[in-house]
A and B are shown apart, each in its own frame.
Chain A
């Protein structure tokens, strides 16, 4: 578990909004997967810094804006 005080990013997915397009798992397979029904599965809510760009890309690729990447306060 990473210490709570560490600055970072928080990845959130809106499961109800997810339209099962698979766009996130396609562009950021390290962060997202899909269930058998196509629904998004978030692999980690606290992506390491080297995956922030991939997380941003996935959020942009989501056709229904169901992914949010929040910057946590330092």
Chain B
């Protein structure tokens, strides 16, 4: 073993869909491997069982304000703000999750199905009206995600464009002038949410903000800034990931045509196909960070108190002890739950909504455009491998008898 720790993240991929070779090499060493993050050494959790055990261990803290918390970027560490539930532990975390749980219950989310279906259909109408080729991310991935979020929050339809524009700006760090644009959009969205809360106080509707205002803000269980921060975090965490999964999931299906045919022709496969795409793509690629508040042992390895861990869903989801032939996309696979929404009490609060959105988005797309295909050769689809969220935001597609490459 070399004295120097391997640096993390490792981003160089040969095949866009497979984990970097250097990362798989670490997986073969141990379920826990020491790596060097920009902020210092930490344990990379490479195995499925270890990931589940450590993410559901109360001795592993999410509190980013703790000294030595592992992060992927050098940043000034500040105490975690009230309402920033993703970075809280125990009862403090549970308070916010309880507040949000009913909003993301299976029943509540299922009730949103007709509206999400309608949004998908309208967007597909628009795509067909304009004709091919089109970038599926802009025409479908982004707007399906943002309209679903608007519905959840109770943002009126006429404001959805404003919403989409600013949400998108938050996640486009590659464009010129990005930091200013991001700051401006953050301010615009926060201001909008603030106004929305005022509006819902006067004129409540059947939506999340109205209920949180009535049940939590008015009785004084939360303060206004907390409610605003919590709502904002839901937007920030939910929008880009879902939009990206719609687009990158479609890309994966188009590049595995026998899989696409199966999903299109056998709609009963949809639920499993969405799980498999979430596993296979593992778009939240670098991982979930925690810090040990006591010594925690897994197998014969120990994470000492004060040491950080970073759980790699990308590796856990490709653990060959759990998934046979882990590097193959198989929409018929029936397997154990993947780690793409995390595990433990911090399991993505929006997983129910994300799952139903993805099921609807793929189902509607493939039913409406059964001969959907790439408008450029597969090798020309650009994948973002160095961003927090892996995937493609540029997916030129065509339909209506055109063949791949014809309209490129």
Interface residues of A (CB under 8 A from B): 19-23, 25-26, 29, 33-34, 36-39, 60-61, 63-65
Contact = CB atoms under 8 A, between A and B. Distances in A.
Contacts of A33: 107
B56 interface: yes
B344 interface: yes
A23 B347 contact: yes
A58 to B, nearest CB: 10
B345 A64 contact: yes
Contact of A63 (B104, B336, B342, B355): B342
A38 B352 CA distance: 12
Chain B CB within 10 A, most for which of A22, A29, A37: A22
A60 B352 contact: no
A29 to B, nearest CB: 7
A71 to B, nearest CB: 20
A17 B327 CA distance: 34
B36 interface: no
B181 interface: no
Contacts of A23: 337, 347, 351
B101 interface: yes
B358 to A, nearest CB: 13
Nearest to A26: B106
Given A33-B107, A34-B106, A37-B98, 18 more contacts: A19-B94, A20-B101, A20-B105, A22-B106, A25-B107, A26-B352, A26-B355, A34-B101, A36-B105, A38-B98, A38-B101, A38-B104, A39-B101, A60-B337, A63-B56, A63-B342, A64-B56, A65-B56
A61 B348 CA distance: 13
A37 B102 contact: yes
7 contacts: A21-B351, A22-B351, A22-B352, A25-B105, A60-B336, A63-B345, A65-B56
Interface of B: 55-56, 94, 97-98, 101-102, 104-107, 336-337, 342-345, 347, 349, 351-352, 355
A21 B56 contact: no
A52 to B, nearest CB: 15
Contacts of A25: 105-107
Given A22-B104, A38-B104, A63 B344 contact: yes
Given A60-B336, A60-B337, A64-B56, A19 B102 contact: no
A37 B94 CA distance: 12
B275 to A, nearest CB: 10
A38 B56 contact: no
A19 to B, nearest CB: 5
B344 A64 contact: yes
Contacts of A38: 98, 101-102, 104-105
Contacts of A20: 97-98, 101, 105
A23 B342 CA distance: 12
Given A26-B352, A60-B336, A63-B342, A36 B102 contact: yes
Contacts of A19: 94, 97, 345, 347
A38 B103 CA distance: 8
Chain B CB within 10 A, most for which of A20, A21, A25, A39: A21
A20 B56 CA distance: 14
A25 B342 CA distance: 18
A29 B106 contact: yes
B266 to A, nearest CB: 19
A18 to B, nearest CB: 10
B155 to A, nearest CB: 23
Contacts of B351: 21-23
A63 B56 CA distance: 7
A19 B343 CA distance: 11
A29 B271 CA distance: 14
Nearest to B347: A63
Nearest to B58: A64
A38 B336 CA distance: 23
B101 A37 contact: yes
Contacts of A29: 106
A40 to B, nearest CB: 11
B188 to A, nearest CB: 31
A22 B98 CA distance: 12
Contacts of A65: 56
